[in-house]
Amino acid sequence: MADIVDTAVANGSFKTLAAAVGAADLISTLKGPGPFTVFAPTDAAFANLPAGTVESLLKPENKAKLAGILTYHVVAGKVLAADVVKLTQAKTVQGQSAQIEVKNGKVLVDAANVTATDIICDNGVIHVIDAVILPK
């Protein structure tokens, strides 16, 4: 089994997320012992942001802002899908809580749909989401 970073890279759908994690200097953190739960936006989710947003966030001068956005996608601990559906919010590593809602059998984290769950890694779990969620 691989850690969260290696699992995301091997998947192939998280190239933008992997680049962002590198630009924000979060690779060593997400390769750490954890456990972590990551709500991982796909490349398509990043592509839905306004034009130029990703390129701007990847600039060195925006590292702190990027790190804040990325850590808003991470929850301390290993929270499997069966537990996520029982929550109304989850405190993120960034410090704020993301809202969790079950609607018509679908799970939403803030406004993002969870499209795949329980991708188990050595140091946690990945749940795939279809949008980039932003701290308030």
- What are the sequence ranges of the domains in the chain? 4-129
pTM of the model: 0.95
Superfamily of domain covering 4-129: FAS1 domain (2.30.180.10)
Distance separating alpha carbons of residues 102 and 85, to the nearest angstrom: 7
pLDDT category, 64, cuts 50, 70, 90? very high
Encode pLDDT of 1-51 as tens digits. Answer: 899 999 999 999 999 999 999 999 999 999 999 999 999 999 999 999 999
In contact, 84 and 107? CB cutoff 8 Å? yes
- Average of pLDDT values for 76-100? 96
pLDDT, position 1 = 83
Q: Percent of the chain having pLDDT more than 90?
A: 96
Among 5, 28, 14, CA closest to 130: 14
